[in-house]
Chain A
Amino acid sequence: MRGALVSTLMEMAGEDDRIMFLTGDLGWSVVEKFARKFPKRFINAGVAEANMVGVATGLAMDGFVPFVYSIATFASMRAYEQIRNGPILHRLPVRICGVGGGFSYAHAGPTHHALEDLAIARVQPGLTVIVPADPAQTRSAVLATRDMPGPVYLRVGKGGNPGVPGLNGRFALGRPEVVTEGKEILFLAAGGAAHIALEGARLLEREGRAPAVAVLAHLAAEESPELIALLSKFRAIVTVEEAFTAGGLGSLAASAVARRGLACRLATLGVRESFGAAFGSEAWLRKHHGLDAESLAKAARRLLESSR
Chain B
Amino acid sequence: MTVQRINMPQLGESVTEGTVSNWLVKVGDYVEKYDAIAEVMTDKVNAEVPSSFSGVIKELVAEEGEAIEVGQLMCYIEVEGEDPAEHASSTTPVTNEKEQQQAGELTMKTRYSPVVMRLAQEHQIDLATVSGSGKGGRITRKDIEKVIAGEKSVTKSKQTEEKDEKTSQQDMQVEEQDFTPPIIRRQPVQTRQGDREIPVTGIRKTIAQNMVRSKTEIPHAWMMIEVDVTNLVAYRNAEKDKFKETEGYNLSYFAFFLNAVAKALKKFPELNSCWAGDKIIQRKEINLSIAVAHGHELYVPVIKNVDEKSIKGIAKEVAELSNKARTGTLTQEDMEGGTFTVNNTGSFGSVQSMGVINYPQAAILQVESIVKRPVIIDDMFAARDMVNLCLSLDHRVLDGVICGDFMSHVKAILENISSDTTPIY
Q: Do A and B bind each other?
A: no
